[in-house]
Structure 1
Amino acid sequence: MKPFIDEENKMHLLGEVIPPGKSTRINISTAKLHSHTVVEVPVIIERSKKKGPVVLITAGIHGDEINGVEVVRQLIAKKLHQPKKGSIICIPVLNIYGFINNTREFPDGRDLNRVFPGSKTGALASRFAHLISQEILPIANLCMDFHTGGASRFNAAQIRIDKKNKKNVELAKVFHAPFTVFSSNIKKSYRYTCEKLDIPALLFEGGKSNHSDKYIAMEGVNGIKRILNHLGMLKEGVSLTKPEKKSIIIEDSYWLRAKYSGLLHVKIPLGKFVEKGEYIAIITDPYGTFRHKVKAKKAGYVINANQAPTVYQGDAIFHISKEAGE
């Protein structure tokens, strides 16, 4: 059954009726573990008595992306999810199976963010995506989804949006992450499904898998506060952090890959603007006989850096912005 808000401002969600001013936690479950242990995904709903937008805030679509989970956890712990008007729905860990096992994927080996809107009779990940797409997502007026870089690749705090979606462009300006990256939607992703339902969606990236960084979490929480304030939903007495710099727009970018296998030594801070030919890392062998300087191919901002101690030839080591058409 699709969720909705009735004429009396009562929310109908996941088989429950949630009146205005009510705080509710609904635990959903799609399948038990093979041990028959019940695994539940908590959905935390906070409703104001005043009518207003419904904001859906999610993280952990990849089970090892802990930093995104931390953003939503802090939002709840600080009671910032209690709106002055409207409703806020928080799902801190979408992929509870991956979260338990510290893995990116569902137990069926599928990436949850590549099977939306899902299927009622498909594989486990697809069934869960179908539940989210049918029974939660349609009630949202805005979605914010929190991610990190994969493996050891550390993302600078950034919002990713499709530049053709003017609503998302305006909301990204309000969120004001250090970087705003124009990125086309990928078919079968959560963000693509939001677009098909005409729901504005902001995708935040920051940090790396299986790691928590307090500065990245701070950027995520501050951005949410700015959005809620913009919508008139931020409760009284909450202070806003004014950004120190403009959000840097990234319209195009390239991956710099390792020319050799070896030990990786990154020599620049994340977010730095590097010049063409600038020395930014070293690749060595373990024996002190080989040393290769990694240089930037083009000028641009470093928005992702590989923090793994070792790399293989062809591994991505930096994600760097470039001028469109370069």
Structure 2
Amino acid sequence: MATPLSPDKLVSILRAEGVRVVEYGSWRTHNRAGHGAWGPINGVMIHHTVSSGTDSSVRLCYDGYDGLPGPLCHGVIAKDGTVYLVSSGRANHAGGGDARVLDAVIAEQPLPATHRHEGSSDSADGNARFYGFECVNLGDGSDPWPAAQLDAIERVSTAICRAYDWSAASVIGHKEWSDWKSDPTFSMAAMRARIARRLGGKPDTPSPAPQYQPFPGAGWFKNSPRSPIVTAMGRRLVAVGCSAYAEGPGPQWTESDRRSYARWQHRLGYSGTDADGWPGATSWAALKVPKV
């Protein structure tokens, strides 16, 4: 019987497999305890978020929404391959599914076509049995799956399989669990083949940490700079849902940049003169502007 990994162990195995890990909020104690079992653990389930933007997607998966309280998974896999851990216990990610699929996962056998879902009288509780990872993707069949993101899905799945001495057959998509789901939109058979190849080798070195633009200084912005840094900042503000742009963003600092940044400061909980739209070191670090 496979028991859940401790938070320390989960972080350790992911990093050993080369995963860039961010520990988000109070993820170690953030769970759905009291709303069903957590374990025995039998596999890993992959989802897509049907959302865009890293920060907003991570926040959604951490908090949940009306009708489905968070956490909505154990980790969120961003487009750049960074994995944000949001829970280490029971999470609202899998719902009810086909018990025959669960039996196949346990036996590490080919999966039957699923004919059950949440609401089926004989559905199995997937939230008790699977680690769940939400991948940032609109799920429309057009939103791309960057190589870094697919690599992280492969590494995360391999790390957990390696920890439990499972084969790649222990990794499934939500669409293979519940017949009314379509996530993820990529081929799970191809992903399992990748995981199987990685399981045949040893964990490799961690991926380098993402590089962020250092804070240019408060006075720099008040001189109305024209710089690729302003463009990169604006794109991040759009990505996190704080845009006040009618067009752009572009390299020239404008009043639209200031208004957008003020929205970001309000998002972080600032008010008054601390949310006047002029960047400060702390809010800048939280925005994670890519290095240019």
Q: Which has the higher contact order (CA 8 A, sep 6+)?
A: 2
TM-score, normalized by length of structure 2? 0.31
1 or 2, which has the higher helix percentage? 2
1 or 2, which has the higher strand percentage? 1
TM-score, normalized by length of structure 1? 0.28
